[in-house]
């Protein structure tokens, strides 16, 4: 029974690691190609009732060309030829921009004149609105709405509900790509579930070694978190632990200015998207001596979309903390505009400073954009502390802890891998298979099984390991103080 349990724990560890690596690949691709923003574009076009292709959606295109939405576009940086659309739009910004579009398209409303409910009724009667947009406006008016502000609230509620659906769609989309990434990994490195299962069954000591490793990753007592394992794996994949080790050794004993430069390098290297890394390095270097000196010039170094409207970008609802964590690029634009407006005005500059701090905190520690969010957070604290020497020790201690954790994981996985000769780069083991016979079919089914099970996600396998480890510990004999086991 114990051997079977260790076999299951070993397989769960295998799928957990594949899921983490596949998730890392999907996150990298989604961040670099801004897939969340493109999905939002399609969803808005579909919500308006114009299909999913924004190129053929007149109202959706006009919506994205509105100055308030253009102000949220990501600046042109490095390899990107043009700014990319926002990955998040707040309901208030959405409703304001949409009502302004309706006002500009209404027949009897001049520029600068407020939109009225009767104007919306006339537009509905004319049939010029797309079905989806017409449907939500009709629904709002059918409730006996007499004020445009109430219509705006109805639009915000509708958009918020749609965003909930969009989030569900994006999760399903991500799971599909997680399966694809896991299948590519399985085929590339011969991650055959049946081969691993047979090896664990034939070698109980190997199954025990897998189970022991899994137990060290999740002892089942909530003392270890999945985020820590994910960070260790990311550092291994990015080979960033060598970078951390070198910089940690340099940090102590240097002058403060040199220490700041090293920390800035750590934060920039911690961004797994090179576009984000360039942004982080540019801004942080300009703040390395005094965080609030010459910030307008620092932000101005980053190219901006030509259609930016600073007045539109200066909207108060963007001050919500969730917007910082969801769309850092939006805040780059917002702060550029705010600081340009505050230039030469001491009071305005002081008012913007808390937002600058939150921007840097989000930039350095955003979990969807960084390899190690904790490292980014500690680095940010050091750079912006009035007493940086006090924040240096926690940073150095964390680096030391993280390096030891990564080294430990590397050694354990290397030991297990050494006992699995067929789990290698496919070109290195292909000669051992007869690909014209059933060998290929069996291997492909093994890869497919790995991808399907890994697509359940790392949280599922991490939690399952904890439960199986607890079952494994039920039969363990408790040790006495003298080291002898209590007889059952």
Tell me the mean pLDDT in the region 346-357. 77
Taking a C-beta distance cutoff of 8 angstroms, is the pair 257, 289 a contact?
yes
Q: Cα torsion at 279, 244, 230, 198 (round to 10°)?
A: 130
- Report whether pLDDT(32) > 80: no
* CA distances to 100, 117, 120, 123, 284 from 126, in Å: 18, 15, 10, 5, 54
Which pLDDT band holds residue 34 (cuts at 50, 70, 90)? confident
Tell me the mean pLDDT in the region 314-334. 53
**Cβ neighbours for 336, distance < 8 A, ≥ 6 positions apart:** 296, 299, 300, 302, 304, 310
* Average pLDDT score, the chain: 80
Phi, psi of 18 (to 5 degrees): -65, -40
- Report whether pLDDT(455) > 80: yes
> Tell me, what's the pLDDT at 81?
43
Of residues 326 and 470, more confidently modeled? 470
Dihedral class, residue 222 (left if φ above 0, else alpha if ψ from -120 to 50, else beta): left
Q: How far apart are CA 47 and CA 314, in angstroms?
A: 27
- Report whether pLDDT(130) > 90: no
Of residues 415 and 332, more confidently modeled? 415
What the block records as the tokens of 47 is: 């919500």
Of residues 459 and 103, more confidently modeled? 459
> Tell me, what's the pLDDT at 413?
95
For the ranges 116-120, 319-323, 409-413, the lowest mean pLDDT is seen at: 319-323
> Tell me, what's the pLDDT at 474?
67
Tell me the mean pLDDT in the region 446-464. 96
Which pLDDT band holds residue 206 (cuts at 50, 70, 90)? very high
Nearest residue to 234 via CA among 269, 265, 272: 272
Express each pLDDT in 83-110 by its tens digit. 567 777 888 888 888 988 888 877 666 6
- Report whether pLDDT(336) > 90: no
Task: State the residue for tokens 């009502």.
Answer: 99
What is the three-state SS of the chain? CHHHHHHHHHHHHHHHHHHHHHHHHHHHHHHHCCHHHHHHHHHHHHHCCCCCCHHHCHHHHHHHCCHHHHCCCCCCCCCCCCCCCCCCCCHHHHHHHHHHHHHHHCCCCCCCCCCCHHHHHHHHHHCCCCHHHHHHHHHHHCCCCCCHHHHHHHHHHHHHHHHHHHHHHHHHHHHHHHHHHHHHHHHHHCCCHHHHHHHHHHCHHHHHHHHHHHHHHCCCCCCCCHHHHHHHHHHHHHCHHHHHHHHHHHHCCCCHHHHHHHHHHHHHHCECCHHHHHHHHHHHHHCCCCCCCCHHHHHHCCCCCCCCCHHHHCCHHHHCHHHHHHCHHHHHHHHHHHHHHHCCCHHHHHHHHHHHHHHHHHHHHCCCCECCHHHHHHHHHHHHCCCHHHHHHHHHHHHHHHHHHHHHHHHHHHHHHCCCCCCCCHHHHHHHCCCCCHHHHHHHHHHHHHHHHHCCCHHHHHHHHHHHHHHHHHCCCCECCCCCECCC
> Tell me, what's the pLDDT at 84?
66
Express each pLDDT in 167-183 by its tens digit. 887 788 888 999 999 99
Which pLDDT band holds residue 198 (cuts at 50, 70, 90)? very high
> Tell me, what's the pLDDT at 332?
67
Express each pLDDT in 300-320 by its tens digit. 655 443 334 555 444 444 444
Taking a C-beta distance cutoff of 8 angstroms, is the pair 179, 452 a contact?
yes
- Report whether pLDDT(478) > 70: no
> Tell me, what's the pLDDT at 127?
84
Domain locations along the chain: 2-26+183-222+429-474, 27-174, 226-404
> Tell me, what's the pLDDT at 229?
94
- Report whether pLDDT(43) > 90: no
For the ranges 92-101, 106-115, 207-216, the lowest mean pLDDT is seen at: 106-115
**Cβ neighbours for 140, distance < 8 A, ≥ 6 positions apart:** 150, 151, 154, 155
Tell me the mean pLDDT in the region 476-481. 48
What the block records as the tokens of 433 is: 């298979």
> Tell me, what's the pLDDT at 41?
86
Q: Cα torsion at 251, 295, 325, 218 (round to 10°)?
A: 0
> Tell me, what's the pLDDT at 434?
67
> Tell me, what's the pLDDT at 487?
45
- Report whether pLDDT(467) > 70: yes
**Residue 63 exposed, middle or buried by CB count within 10 Å (0-12, 13-18, 19+):** buried
Express each pLDDT in 260-286 by its tens digit. 888 888 888 888 766 667 777 777 776
Of residues 71 and 481, more confidently modeled? 71
Of residues 293 and 445, more confidently modeled? 445
Q: How far apart are CA 189 and CA 63, in angstroms?
A: 46
What the block records as the tokens of 456 is: 């359940």
């Amino acid at each position: 029974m114990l051997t079977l349990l260790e076999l299951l724990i070993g397989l769960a560890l295998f799928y957990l690691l594949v899921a983490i690596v596949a998730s890392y690949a999907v996150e990298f691709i989604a961040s670099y190609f801004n897939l969340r923003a493109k999905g939002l574009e399609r969803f808005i076009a579909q919500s308006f009732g114009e299909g999913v292709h924004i190129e053929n959606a007149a109202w959706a295109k006009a919506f994205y060309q509105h100055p308030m939405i253009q102000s949220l576009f990501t600046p042109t940086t490095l390899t990107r030829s043009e700014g990319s659309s926002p990955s998040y739009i707040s309901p208030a910004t959405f409703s304001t921009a949409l009502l302004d579009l309706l006002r500009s398209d209404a027949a009897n409303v001049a520029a600068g004149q407020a939109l009225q409910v009767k104007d919306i009724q006339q537009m509905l009667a004319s049939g010029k609105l797309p079905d989806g947009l017409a449907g939500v406006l009709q629904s709002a008016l059918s409730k006996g709405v007499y004020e445009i502000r109430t219509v705006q609230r109805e639009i915000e509620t509708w958009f918020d509900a749609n965003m909930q659906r969009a989030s569900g769609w994006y999760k399903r989309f991500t799971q599909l790509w997680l399966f694809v990434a896991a299948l590519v990994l399985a085929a590339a490195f011969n991650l055959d579930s049946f081969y691993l299962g047979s090896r664990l069954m034939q070698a109980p000591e190997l199954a025990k070694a897998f189970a022991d490793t899994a137990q060290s990753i999740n002892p089942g007592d909530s003392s270890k978190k999945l985020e820590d394992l994910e960070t260790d794996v990311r550092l291994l994949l990015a080979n960033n632990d060598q970078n951390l080790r070198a910089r940690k050794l340099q940090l102590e004993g240097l002058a403060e200015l040199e220490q700041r430069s090293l920390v800035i390098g750590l934060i920039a290297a911690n961004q797994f998207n090179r576009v984000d890394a360039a942004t982080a390095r540019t801004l942080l270097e300009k703040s390395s001596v005094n965080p609030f000196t010459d910030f307008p010039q620092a932000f101005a170094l980053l190219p901006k979309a030509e259609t930016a409207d600073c007045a539109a970008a200066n909207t108060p609802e963007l001050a919500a903390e969730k917007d910082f964590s969801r769309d850092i690029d939006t805040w780059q634009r917002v702060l550029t505009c705010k600081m340009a407006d505050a230039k030469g005005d001491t009071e305005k500059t002081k008012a913007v400073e808390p937002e600058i701090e939150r921007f840097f905190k989000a930039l350095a520690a955003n979990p969807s954009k960084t390899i190690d969010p904790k490292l980014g957070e500690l680095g940010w604290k050091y750079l912006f502390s009035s007493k940086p020497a006090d924040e240096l020790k926690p940073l150095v201690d964390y680096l030391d802890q993280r390096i030891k954790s990564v080294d430990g994981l590397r050694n354990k996985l290397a030991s297990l891998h050494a006992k699995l000769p067929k789990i290698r780069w496919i070109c290195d083991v292909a000669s051992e298979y007869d690909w014209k016979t059933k060998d290929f079919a069996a291997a492909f089914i093994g890869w497919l099984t790995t991808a399907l099970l890994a697509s359940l996600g790392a949280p599922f396998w991490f939690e399952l390991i904890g439960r199986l480890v607890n079952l494994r510990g039920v039969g363990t004999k408790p040790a006495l103080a003298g080291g002898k086991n209590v007889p059952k």
